[in-house]
Structures are given as structure tokens and as C-alpha cells.
Amino acid sequence: MSAFTQEDRSLLADSINRFVADAYGPERRAAILTSDEGFGRAEWATYAELGWLGIAIAEAHGGSGGGLAELAVLMRAAGHGLLMEPLLPTLVQAAGALAGGGSAAQQAEWLPAIAEGRAILAFAQDNAAQDEAPVIAEATGDGYRLSGRRGFVLYGAAADRIIVKAERAGQPALFLLSPTAPGVTLAHARSIDDRPVSDLTLDRVQVAEADRLPGGDAALLERLNQMAALAVCAEAVGAMQAANRLTLDYLKTRTQFGTSIGNFQVLQHRMVDMTLAAQEAAAITWAAIGAASIGAAETLVLTAAAKARSAAAARLIGEQSIQLHGGIGMTEEYVIGHYYRRLMLLETLFGGAGWHLDRLGGWTAAGIDGEKA
Amino acid sequence: MLGIDLMRDPAIQAFRADVQQFCATHLPRDIRDKVLAGQHLVKSDYVRWQKILFDKGWIVGHWPRPYGGQDWTPLQRAIFDDETSKAGAPWLTPFGVCYAGPVIYTFGSQAQKDRYLPGIRSTDTWWCQGYSEPGAGSDLANIKTRAVRDGDHYVVNGQKTWTTMAQWADMMFTLVRTSSEGKPQNGISFLLIDMKTPGVTVRPIISIDKCHHLNEVFLDDVRVPAENLVGEEGRGWTYAKFLLNNERLLGAEVGKSTRLLQQLRRTLADIRDGGRPLSDDPHWRRRLGELRARLLALEAVCNEYLAAAEAGSTPGLEVSALKIMGSELIQGITGAMVDALAVKGLVYQTEGLEPGWQTPPVGLPGAPGMIREHLHDRATTIYGGANEIQRNILAKAVLGL
């Protein structure tokens, strides 16, 4: 159970929203976007000071013992404020993998470092759950030799360690990889929402047995991806709520044909649909997170529903917020296009709508309500 | 005659074959490669292609013969447009040959025709369109840029925006307010402004695709010779509407959608998921089939309008249908492209938009061009009269609601 009360979560949300409003304004954000690293190191340190980086890390490792519900509060605010920092890979995926499958030594080394802001970790698997070209871990005398390629490693350039999914004796396994190890090549670019992202190539990289996560198995990966999918839903909810707010304000203030354009019924109905979409996505997201937090059987179907509905909402809201803004929505200088691109990316992470709907449809057809088939 | 029958007419088929053949032999490969890869074109790319068309006599094929045209019918023009687009030719920048030129030869003075039409035909003069303003988008009649007569000049003050390719322009045709009396439409005049005139400032607008196509144009005490007024003072709105009517039959952009659908098809074959190409996936096949069906239907709708025009009828406001269907189809296709790319993660490596870029790409080859196209094409339902406005037109003018 989480050590946080509902009130704690409200306070956390208030504190993050205040930080975003005070210290993460358009000018600062623009500077971060054009910086080499593409995220704010100073901000990362501040997040550590404010305790955000440890919210879901056990107290024994210097965190405050929260869980997915608290991470979701943080991720929603990250979506709302379009934060650029590596919260998702470090806090949700890497810390989640270490807490759920790491050895005591790995946990003791990395979880406090994450909570204190001393380490950034990335996570390298295939974008969706399908493993197209696995990284192969070949056993050597005292460890493994890793070879293969992983695309779309978010924040790979900044990572102190990358947790790599690989295939070991036909089974998935997770390894803590130093990006400076011989045989590791990273090619850097930006994602559609301006985040640093890398292609990772491993050419016979030596990894010690001590760097394998002993509990890094298929079940852990399934849980992690489910948790990450919900964290992404929460981030999308924050972004959608912010985009809707901006669009609604614009409808009220933009004047054409002698009246505010919000007086045109077609735009009113569009805005209502966008509001309903965000409401629905938020409700199913919090429901799924609630179920996941107590390990309820229906978590699986709720997660698939949350990802599918938030993806549909993200598309509607992203596209229509630009449409309703007209030309100004097409400019890089104005923030609504950044929300659009962020929502485009979130839609695709940890399975797009189609992937989740296939699963949900399959379970539904088989009469499975909650527990896994 | 049905549109589909008209397309089988031997003369029409021969014309189509001519355009295809010409593109195959005369469209420079480097330019075509850039277009197909969605990379940045520079001004000289556009100019080079337009001069090739000029030498052939096709750049202004739709103009009347006395002005150097070929008297093309709307159908011939549509075929030319579709086939050049399909072949990977650059966007035929319309500001001179489709907008300024026809207004000048229809409403301009002899002096204006002599002075401006040769440069428009040869693309030695680059034109841009000074219509939209910060307060006048959908409500274009609300323009505030003022032109006040002062002796044999107009003094122009105001701001234009969303001015495509103004950074390259020599001239701008501009809607300005010469009177505030009566209906807003009645006080608008059509003025030609030399971009080198003191007081003209062009400021770039970077769009969400990270590219620079758009600009703001500031006009501060710009002195424009009164002889640059086209036609009569206060009739600018009428001329602008004439121009829109000319362009409506091309609003569907069938050629571009055809090219993009080909690209989507290749992309689905290239991207593998779960051990097989996306094009083997029944979901993707259905989606591709639906887009193809929409394209074929759009082409059929276009052909009906073109057949009517061929039979002598002037297209009316119902042609707004083409803008709606065409723009929404383009967005459907580019949206599918991005969904396909997303299987491997949405990397937007803008360096990949630069021609000659050699570094192996991060993510999928070809992704930058497709993502750029998708982001850029969010504007297709906004510009040229937002689709909401087009639907209002149909509701009022066609359905009588």
C-alpha cells in the first residue's frame, strides 16, 4: 500500500503545478528545448530536492514509499507543463525494474541515486510489446556478451545506465548497461516531441552476471509495461486538460465576424466533444491506476481500455486544438503545437490504440473479465 | 458526359500521356528526389522547374493565348496538376501564375500587364500573397491594413501574416483597406507592393514542422505608387473572389494524395512488426483500402465537376466539397504514415530534411520527410478557408440552410 493519503497527493499535485507555473515558463522551456541535452539538469536537481524523484521509491532506499498513484500525479503534471525531463524512463521504467527485479546490491546502488537525482537511467526495449529484433545475451564464463540493436531509447544520451531488454537462453532478461562500455554505440536524435532519443547498437558488449536483474523476467516486463502505459495515460490526461484549457480560452477570446468564435455552434460542439474525451480518458486512467495500485484482477482490461481511450482522446484533442486555433496553432512559437506533438508521441508509447484494442477484443471475445487468459 | 467517360476520351488521354512523358524526361532527378523524400527545397529548385515548364509553354497553360497561355480547359489544367504532382514535381507555387497573373490580365491596366506578366511567366519575379492578417483569417473582409492616398502614392500601414514564401518574394499582391465606409468588403482594394520598398519587413514564422515557409510582413509607411492599384479602388474583394473561383477546381489535390498513398504503401511494406511487414496485417490492409477508396471516390467527384466545366458550366460554391474531401484525405493518409512509423518510435530527425544528408538515420529512413508532411498538412484544413467555413458555405449556398 502507498504511504500517501489522498491529501498528500493533492499537496504533491499543487507543489508540482506551482513549480511549473513559476519556474517552467515558455522562456525557460524554450531554452531547454534548444539545449544540447534537451532537458533541464537544474530542474532535475530541483525535482530531487522537492522529493519528486523518490516518490515511488521505498523509504529504505531514500524515497517516500509511494507507488503508481503518486507517479501518476507527477506524470499528469509533467503532461500539463510539457516537462522535458526523463521522468518516464528513470522513475517509472528503470526504478520500477530495479525495485521489482533488481538484486539487493543493484537496488542499494541505484535507487537512492535516482531518488537523490544523482543518476538518470534509460530503458531499451522495442517500442511496443512486439520484439522484432531481440538483443541476444550470450553466456560467457563469468557473464554475458550482448549484441543487437534497440531503437527509440528515450534519454539514452544522458543515461548513466541503460537497462536493456535482451534474450537470454530464449527468455527475456534485463541488464544494467553502461553506455561507455566497449561495443556500445548510441546515435542521437530528437523525438517528435523534442525529447532526446537514441538508437542503441550493441556489438559483443561484455556484461557481468552482477549486472543482470535477477528478477527481470517476462512477468516483470509485462507489469512494467502496464505501469508505464498507465503513467503515459496520466501524462496524456495532463496534456489534454491543458490543451483543452488553452483552446477554450482561445474560443472565448478570438474574435471573427464580429463575435467571439466560441459563439459558433460547430465549434461549441467540437469543444464539448474534446472535453468529454478528456473526461473519459481521465476517468478510465484513474480507474486503471486505482486497480493496479491494489493489484486487482481487472487491472489488465482497465489498462488496455485506458490506453485505447486516452489514445483516441489524444488524437481528437491534439488535432482539433490546432484546428480550432487556426494559423496560430501551426506555429512553433505557440505552445499548442507542442501539446499536439507530445500527445502524438504518448499515443504510441507502450502499445498504440490498435495493439491494446486487439488484446482487449480478444479477452472480451473469450469472456475474460479481469484475470489474464 | 460522365467524368469517367471523359477521362477515356483519346485527346484527354493523349494530353495526360504528354504530361507524364514530359515529367519523365524533363523533371530534374535531384529535384524529384527531394520532393519524394519530403526534403527542403530552396528557391532555385522551384525556379528551375518552373523555367522548364515555361520553356515548354506549360507554366501558364491555363492562361488565355494572348497572354502567352494555351487556353487549357479546367480539365486539362487539372490533369497537368495531377500528373506533375504524381511525378514528384515541386508544388507549382501559385502566387504568380495562378493568382497575381490572372487578376492582372483580367483587371489590370495595359501598363501592369506589360510590366508584370513576363516576370510571372518566367518566374523571374517571385510573388507572395498578402491577404491574412492577425485579426483577419476566416473573416478576411476584416482586414485593417490601410492604404491612404497621398498624391500619386498610397501610404500603406498594417501587418500581413501566414505569408507563404514571402522571404523569397520580389512582389506581394495585397488586400488593403482604402475605405471604412459601408460594408467592409466594399472598402478593400487590390494593391501590388514591391517587397524592396522601404517600410516592408519580413519576419519568419517557424511552423510546427520546424520549417520556415510562413512569414509575417510588416508594412510601415510603405509608399506604393498609385499605378500599382489593380482595377478600381474598392473592388479588391471582387477580384479576390474571382481568383478563388478560378482555383476551386484544384482544391482536391488528387495528384498529391495519389503520390502520398504510394508512399504509404511502400512504407507499410518496409516496416516490419511481429516478424512480418505491416502490409500483411489485415488491419493495415483495410485502412489502406479505405484510403484508396476515398481517393478513387474523390477523383470521381472531381471528374464530375470537371466534366460539367468542360460542358460549359461555371463551377459554383458547391465545389467547396473538393477542398473538404481533399484536405481531409491528405490528413488521413499522412496520419496513417505516422501511425506506421510509430511502430518503431516517432523520431523526428530534422537534419534528415536537408538534401545530401549522409549520416545513417536514427529511426526509420524516410521518416523525417513523412513526419514533416504530416505536421505541415495539419494546415490543409485551415488555410484557404478553414473547413468549418467551407461547410458553412455548403450549408448556406448549396443546401439553403
For the record, the C-alpha cell of A160 comes out as 548513466
Could you give the percent of chain A with pLDDT greater than 90?
Answer: 92
Give the one of A151, A327, A348 whose C-beta lies nearest to B137's C-beta: A327
For the record, the C-alpha cell of A134 comes out as 531481440
Helices B29-37 & B43-56 angle (0-180, nearest 10): 130
Give the one of A132, A191, A326 whose C-beta lies nearest to B386's C-beta: A326
- Residue A373 pLDDT exceeds 60: no
The C-alpha atoms of residue B333 and residue B130 are separated, in whole angstroms, by 30
CATH fold of the domain at A123-211: Butyryl-CoA Dehydrogenase, subunit A; domain 2 (2.40.110)
The C-alpha atoms of residue B271 and residue B367 are separated, in whole angstroms, by 11
Residue bearing the bigger pLDDT, B362 or B105:
B105
From chain A residues 140-199, the ones with a CB under 8 A of any chain B CB are 151-152, 187-193, 197-199
Locate the domains of chain B by residue range: 3-92, 127-232, 251-398
The three-class DSSP label of residue B82 is helix
CATH fold of the domain at B251-398: Butyryl-CoA Dehydrogenase, subunit A; domain 3 (1.20.140)
Residues of A in contact with B350 (CB under 8 A): 190
The C-alpha atoms of residue B323 and residue B251 are separated, in whole angstroms, by 5
| Whether A326 and B138 lie within 8 Å, measured CB to CB | yes
pLDDT at A114: 98
pLDDT in tens, A163-191: 999 999 999 999 999 999 999 999 999 99
| Whether A348 and B386 lie within 8 Å, measured CB to CB | no
Selection from B198, B204, B118 nearest residue B161 by Cα = B204
| Whether B347 and A188 lie within 8 Å, measured CB to CB | no
pLDDT bucket at A41, cuts 50 / 70 / 90: very high
Q: What is the pLDDT averaged over residues A194-198?
A: 96
For the record, the C-alpha cell of B102 comes out as 490572372
What one-letter code names the amino acid at A136?
A: I
A·B CB contacts under 8 A? 119
Query: Cβ of A34 under 8 Å from any chain B Cβ?
Result: no
The C-alpha atoms of residue A146 and residue B137 are separated, in whole angstroms, by 57
Q: How distant is the alpha carbon of residue B152 from its chain centre? A: 34
- Residue A128 pLDDT exceeds 80: no
pLDDT at A372: 55
pLDDT bucket at B1, cuts 50 / 70 / 90: low
Could you give the percent of chain B with pLDDT greater than 90?
Answer: 86
pLDDT in tens, B185-199: 999 999 999 999 999
pLDDT bucket at A371, cuts 50 / 70 / 90: low
The answer to whether B91 and B136 have CB atoms below 8 angstroms apart is no
Q: What is the pLDDT averaged over residues A290-316?
A: 96
| Whether A132 and B339 lie within 8 Å, measured CB to CB | no
- The chain-wide mean pLDDT, for chain B, equals 94
Give the one of B206, B343, B381 whose C-beta lies nearest to A333's C-beta: B206
pLDDT bucket at A85, cuts 50 / 70 / 90: very high
- Residue A45 pLDDT exceeds 50: yes
The secondary structure element, H or E, covering residue B292 is helix B282-310
- How many residues does this entry show for chain A? 373
Locate the domains of chain A by residue range: 6-118, 123-211, 218-365
What superfamily does domain B127-232 belong to in CATH?
Butyryl-CoA Dehydrogenase, subunit A, domain 2 (2.40.110.10)
Q: Could you count the other beta carbons within 10 Å of the beta carbon of residue B109?
A: 14
Selection from B230, B243, B234 nearest residue B184 by Cα = B234
pLDDT at B273: 85
Selection from A216, A218, A127, A130 nearest residue A177 by Cα = A216
pLDDT bucket at B274, cuts 50 / 70 / 90: confident
The secondary structure element, H or E, covering residue B388 is helix B387-393
- Residue in chain A nearest B204 by alpha carbon: A331
Give the one of B142, B371, B378 whose C-beta lies nearest to A330's C-beta: B378
The C-alpha atoms of residue B378 and residue A320 are separated, in whole angstroms, by 10
The answer to whether B96 and B123 have CB atoms below 8 angstroms apart is yes
CATH fold of the domain at A6-118: Butyryl-Coa Dehydrogenase, subunit A; domain 1 (1.10.540)
| Whether B382 and A323 lie within 8 Å, measured CB to CB | yes
* CATH architecture, domain defined by A218-365: Up-down Bundle (1.20)
Torsion of CA B318, B322, B327, B328, to 10 degrees: 80
Residues of A in contact with B346 (CB under 8 A): 191-193, 344-345, 348
Tell me the nearest-neighbour CA distance from B239 into chain A, angstroms: 21
Tell me the nearest-neighbour CA distance from A36 into chain B, angstroms: 14
| Whether A323 and B386 lie within 8 Å, measured CB to CB | yes
pLDDT in tens, A238-260: 999 999 999 999 999 999 999 99
pLDDT at A80: 96
Residues 6+ apart with CB under 8 A from B260: B330, B333, B334, B337, B373
The pTM for the full model equals 0.95
CATH fold of the domain at B3-92: Butyryl-Coa Dehydrogenase, subunit A; domain 1 (1.10.540)
Tell me the nearest-neighbour CA distance from B140 into chain A, angstroms: 9
pLDDT in tens, B229-249: 999 999 999 999 888 777 778
- Residue in chain A nearest B359 by alpha carbon: A187
pLDDT at B130: 97
- Residue A289 pLDDT exceeds 50: yes
Place of cell 502490409: B279
Residue bearing the bigger pLDDT, A154 or B362:
A154
Could you give the percent of chain B with pLDDT greater than 70?
Answer: 100
- The chain-wide mean pLDDT, for chain A, equals 94
Alpha helix stretches (DSSP H) within B163-253: 236-247
pLDDT in tens, B292-311: 999 999 999 999 999 999 89
Tell me the nearest-neighbour CA distance from B382 into chain A, angstroms: 6
Which residues of B participate in catalysis according to the annotation? 247
